[in-house]
Amino acid sequence: MVKGQVTMKLEDYHALLDAKIQTLELQVFLSFIVSRTDIAPYITEFNKQSKSSVIEIDTNRMVKIKKK
């Protein structure tokens, strides 16, 4: 392990933390949904509970994940 220091803007640090939270939420959601067929109700519930992201399905059934 290499020890050292990193200097970054506070906004960048918070963006990094937000990205980690989004990734964890997505992993949990995908682990649950992988065996389901009708996913619309689950996406609605995920969007209610998620604190950092929203999942949308467009008309081509493509999933988009957006930051709240």
| Model pLDDT for residues 18-52, shown as the tens digit of each residue | 888 887 787 677 767 765 667 778 889 999 999 98
**Partners of 57 in the beta sheet?**
63
Question: How far apart, in whole angstroms, are the C-alpha atoms of residue 32 and residue 42?
Answer: 9
- pTM exceeds cut of 0.85: no
Question: For the chain, which residues make up each domain, given as ranges?
Answer: 10-67
| pLDDT of 56 | 83
E strands along 8-62, which residues?
Answer: 53-57
Question: How far apart, in whole angstroms, are the C-alpha atoms of residue 1 and residue 35?
Answer: 39
